[in-house]
Structure 1
Amino acid sequence: MIKDTLGRELHDLRISVTDRCNFRCSFCMPEGEEYEFFRREEILSFEEITKFVMAIIPLGVKKVRLTGGEPLLRRNLERLIAYLSELPLEDLSLTTNGFLLKEKAKLLKEAGLKRVTVSLHSLKDEVFSRLVGRKVKVYQIIEGIEESLKVGLTPVKVNVCVIRGINHTEIVDIARFFKSMGVVVRFIEFMDVGNINGWSLEKVYSAREMLELLSKRFELEPVEKSYRGEVADRYRYKDDGVEVGFISSITQPFCGDCNRLRLTADGKVLTCLFAQDCYDVKGLIRGSASDEEIREFISKIWAWRSDRYSEQRLEFLENGIMPRKVEMFRVGG
Structure 2
Amino acid sequence: MNILKDSFGRRFSYIRLSISDVCNFKCGYCLPDGYKIDKSDNRTFITKEEIGRLAKALSELGVSKIRLTGGEPTVRKDFLDIIKIIKKNSGIKKTVITTNGYHLDRIADDLNKSGLDGINISIDSLDPKTFRKITGHDRLNEILEGIKKLQKLNFKNIKVNAVLLRGVNDKEEDFKSWANFIKNNQIDFRYIELMQTGDNLDYFNQYHVSANKFTNYLNNNNWVIQTFGKDAGPSKNYINPEYKGKFGVIAPYSKDFCKSCNRLRITAKGDLRLCLFGNTGINIRHLMQRDDQTEELKDLILKQLNYKKESHYLEIGETGLTKNLSTTGG
Taking structure 2 as the reference length, what is the TM-score of the superposition? 0.90
Give the Cα separation in 2 of the matches to 1:46 and 1:331. Answer: 18
Give yes or no for the alignment of 1:196 onto 2:228. no
User: Hey, what does 2:155 align to over in structure 1?
Assistant: 153
1:258 aligns with 2:255: no
* Corresponding position of 2:314: 313
In structure 2, what is the equivalent of residue 282 of structure 1? 285
Query: What letter corresponds to residue 213 of structure 1 in structure 2?
Result: Y
Identity of matched residues, %:
27
* Mapped partners of 2:40, 2:73: distance in 1: 14
Task: Supply the RMSD in Å over aligned alpha carbons.
Answer: 2.4
Corresponding residue of 1:94:
97
The match for 2:273 is: 270
Query: What CA distance in whole angstroms lies between the structure 2 residues aligned with 1:37 and 1:152?
Result: 43
Paired AA for residue 98 in structure 1 = G
Q: 2:187 maps to what in 1?
A: 183
1:323 deviation in Å?
A: 4.5
**Segments of 4+ moved more than 6 angstroms:** 37-41
- Say if 1:2 and 1:303, in contact at 8 Å, map to a contact too: no
CA shift, 1:230, in A, is: 3.8
Q: 1:28 to 1:253 in 2, by over 3 A?
A: farther
Q: CA deviation digits over 1:248-267, x for unaligned, max 9?
A: 11133421221211111111
How many residue pairs match? The answer is 325
Query: Which letter maps to 1:65?
Result: R
- Greater CA deviation, 263-272 or 274-283? 274-283
1:171–1:214: structure 2 CA closer, same or farther, 3 Å change rule? same
What residue is the counterpart of 2:325 in the other structure?
328
Partner Cα separation in structure 2 for residue 158 and residue 103 of structure 1: 18
Q: Distance in 2 between matches of 1:156 and 1:163?
A: 23
CA offsets 1:13-57 (integer angstroms, 9 cap, x no match): 111111111101112112388442799961111011111111121
Query: Following TM superposition, by how much is the alpha carbon of 1:294 offset from its aligned partner in structure 2, in angstroms?
Result: 0.3
Distance 1:116 1:37 in 2: 32
CA distance in 1 between partners of 2:35 and 2:140 (Å): 25
In structure 1, distance between residues paired with 2:43 and 2:322: 24
Report the Cα distance in structure 1 between the residues aligned to 2:28 and 2:276, rounded to whole angstroms: 17
Amino acid at match of 2:64: K
Q: In structure 1, what residue type is equivalent to 2:328?
A: V
Give the structure 2 partner of residue 109 of structure 1. Answer: 112
Secondary structure of the 1:82 match is: helix
TM-score, normalised to structure 1's length? 0.89
2:242 alignment partner in structure 1: 239
In the alignment, structure 2 segments of 5+ residues that lack a partner are none
Residue 97 of structure 2 aligns to a residue whose secondary structure is strand
Say if 1:307 and 1:152 are closer, same or farther in 2 by CA, change over 3 A: farther
CA distance in 2, matches of 1:263, 1:70: 15
Give the counterpart letter for 1:48 in structure 2: E
CA distance in 2, matches of 1:77, 1:17: 8
**Amino acid aligned to 2:84:** A
Give the direction of change, closer, same or farther, for the CA distance of 1:39–1:121 in structure 2 (3 Å limit).
Answer: same
CA distance in structure 1 between the partners assigned to 2:34 and 2:98 by the alignment: 25
Task: Name the CA shift for 1:198/1:147 in 2 (closer, same or farther; >3 Å).
Answer: farther
